[in-house]
Amino acid sequence: MKSLKEKFNTCNEMTNFSGFAWNDVKKCVECDSKEVIAAYTKRNPNKSYKCGTLFPLFSRLSYVFGVDRANGALGELPDEADRALP
- CA dist 51 and 33 (Å) reads 11
Beta carbons within 8 Å of 41's beta carbon, 6+ residues apart: 47
Sign of the alpha-carbon torsion through 29, 32, 38, 40: negative
Tell me if residue 15 falls in helix, strand or coil. Answer: helix
Q: Rounded to two decimals, what is the model's pTM?
A: 0.66
Task: Answer yes or no: are the C-beta atoms of 62 and 9 closer than 8 Å.
Answer: no
Contact 55, 7 (CB under 8 A): yes
Using one digit for the tens of pLDDT, what is the confidence trace for 9-58? 888 888 888 899 999 999 999 998 889 888 888 888 877 778 888 999 98
